[in-house]
Every structure is written in structure tokens, then in C-alpha cells.
Amino acid sequence: GQNIDQPTEMTATEGAIVQINCTYQTSGFNGLFWYQQHAGEAPTFLSYNVLDGLEEKGRFSSFLSRSKGYSYLLLKELQMKDSASYLCAVRDWGQTGGGNKLTFGTGTQLKVEL
Amino acid sequence: SQTIHQWPATLVQPVGSPLSLECTVEGTSNPNLYWYRQAAGRGLQLLFYSVGIGQISSEVPQNLSASRPQDRQFILSSKKLLLSDSGFYLCAWSVRGAKNIQYFGAGTRLSVL
């Protein structure tokens, strides 16, 4: 099965940059996803990586290294509204039905302070 | 554009009572559909997913069942709720393809007392 590790909590200052790391183990990697979840709300899709490298989308960027089983989400120019949980999820062809489902990490709770 | 509707938003049920949560998707055909549960302070746990009408895959043994009577309708049910069924239930959909990105409904917060 999958083993997805993320830090439980992080704290950063408004206007700064923060990097949230995610490591994973799969038998047939087929995509890594990042979601943002504000307290009491549903997760919203942020980014998708399947090839090595950096994907940039406004203030948010996501990086993937398949050989290292490693990804990070980079948030620039932090705003108070970025305080949320950030979930890393992977898709794995190596598991039954793996093409159709995701396995989620437990999330990193980011607190942005003044 | 596609939208996903999930109701009710909040539900309080006594132990032993039945449960029915409904999810519908608009603006797409033949989506993959998913039910997740998120316990307080924990990650998302996939409960069921469906790739078509009447096709249900169960991920974990539990007190719940799922059905897909129509292409864009996914129902989560229980005959008798347990205290441990409390949690935040999320429905999601995706379009089959290279990315297969999942998009979530607003969720139902279930409290079993």
C-alpha cells in the first residue's frame, strides 16, 4: 500500500514563503495531487504533477521528483486566508482499482501569522 | 460547467437509526463517483467508489453501503448507525482520463448520539 508522510503542522508569517513537503511510497506511481482544505469545508484542488519538475500556478507551485518519492507545495506571498490544511494525495497503478482512486496523506495544518 | 450537490450539510442521528446521504453531479456524463469519511483531526478515508451505474467498489469493511441508481447519483446508506460512524462525509467526482482529478462536494457533518 501507500505510505504518505507530511508534517503535521507548520507556522509562517504573512508575506513570507513556505514549503510543505510530502514523501510517498508506491508500487506504480501515476500522479500526485495537492488539495487545500479550510476548517469545516471540503478540499479544493490545487495542483497535479505526474512528471518530474515544477508546476507553477500563481502564488502556488508544486514540485515532483519521482525517483525520490518526493513532492513539495510552495506558497509565496502568504496571506492570512492561506491558513488551512494542505493534503498530499497519490494515485498508484499498483493497487487494485488504482487508476481510479487516490490515497491521501493526513494533511499539514498551516497557520499564517501577522 | 460541472457542479456537485451533496445534502444535507449537517445531520444529527441517534444510534441505531438508518442513514441516507445523497450526492448528485451536473454537467458531466459517466463520472467516477466517490464517498470519503474524514474523522476529526484525521485524513480522508475512501469508503466507496463507482465507475458506472450499479458498479460499487468497497474499500473498507464497515457499517455502510453505497448505491448508484443513476449515472450522476451516488447514495451512502446505513441500516443502523453506530457512534463510530460520526464524521465528515464527502462525495467527490472525476472525469476519467489522464488526470482524473477529483472534485469534492461541500460535505455532510454527521453526529451520531
Burial class (CB in 10 A: 0-12, 13-18, 19+), B73: middle
CA distance B106 to chain A (A): 5
Residue A93 sits at the chain B interface (C-beta within 8 Å): no
User: What percentage of chain A carries pLDDT values higher than 70?
Assistant: 95
**C-alpha cell at position B68:** 448508484
Which residues, 6+ apart, have CB-to-CB distance to A33 below 8 Å? A45, A46, A47, A48, A49, A88, A89, A90, A91, A102, B101, B102
What average pLDDT does chain A have? 93
- Which of A5-14, A86-95, A101-110 has the least mean pLDDT? A86-95
Residues of chain B contacting A40 with CB distance shorter than 8 Å: 109
Predicted pLDDT of residue A108: 97
Residue B5 sits at the chain A interface (C-beta within 8 Å): no
Q: What is the pLDDT of residues A69-92, one digit of tens each?
A: 999 999 999 999 999 999 999 998
Residue B4: pLDDT band by 50, 70, 90 thresholds? very high
Q: Which of A41, A102, A107 sits opposite B102 (nearest CB)?
A: A102
pLDDT at A1 exceeding the cut of 60: no
pLDDT at A19 exceeding the cut of 90: yes
**C-alpha cell at position A17:** 514563503
Residue B42: pLDDT band by 50, 70, 90 thresholds? confident
What is the secondary structure of B25-48 as a DSSP string?
EES-SS-EEEEEEE-TTS-EEEEE
- CA A105, A111, B3, B4 torsion: positive or negative? positive
Give the residue, A1 or A10, on which the prediction is more confident.
Answer: A10
> What is the end-to-end Cα distance of chain A in Å, rounded?
40
**C-alpha cell at position B44:** 480522508
Residue B99 sits at the chain A interface (C-beta within 8 Å): yes
Q: What is the pLDDT of residues B72-93, one digit of tens each?
A: 999 999 999 999 999 999 999 9
Chain B residue with minimal CA distance to A33?
B101
Predicted pLDDT of residue A98: 66
pLDDT at A11 exceeding the cut of 60: yes
Pairing of strands A9-13, A108-113: parallel
Residue A27: pLDDT band by 50, 70, 90 thresholds? confident
Q: How far is A64 from A23, CA to CA, in rounded Å?
A: 10
Q: How far is B68 from B75, CA to CA, in rounded Å?
A: 6
Q: Which of A91, A97, A105 sits opposite B43 (nearest CB)?
A: A105
Q: Do residue B101 and residue A106 have CB atoms under 8 angstroms apart?
A: no
What is the secondary structure of A27-82 as a DSSP string?
SSEEEEEEEEE-TTS--EEEEEE-SSEEEEETTEEEEEETTTTEEEEEE-S--GGG
Which value, to the nearest 10 degrees, does the dihedral of the CA atoms of residues B68, B72, B78, B82 take? 140
The answer, yes or no, to whether the previous bond of B69 is cis (omega within 30 of 0) is: no
Residue B46 sits at the chain A interface (C-beta within 8 Å): yes
Contacts 24+ apart (CB under 8 A), B55-59: B57/A97, B59/A101
Q: What is the pLDDT of residues A30-54, one digit of tens each?
A: 999 999 999 999 999 999 999 999 9
pLDDT at A96 exceeding the cut of 80: no
Residues of chain A contacting B31 with CB distance shorter than 8 Å: none
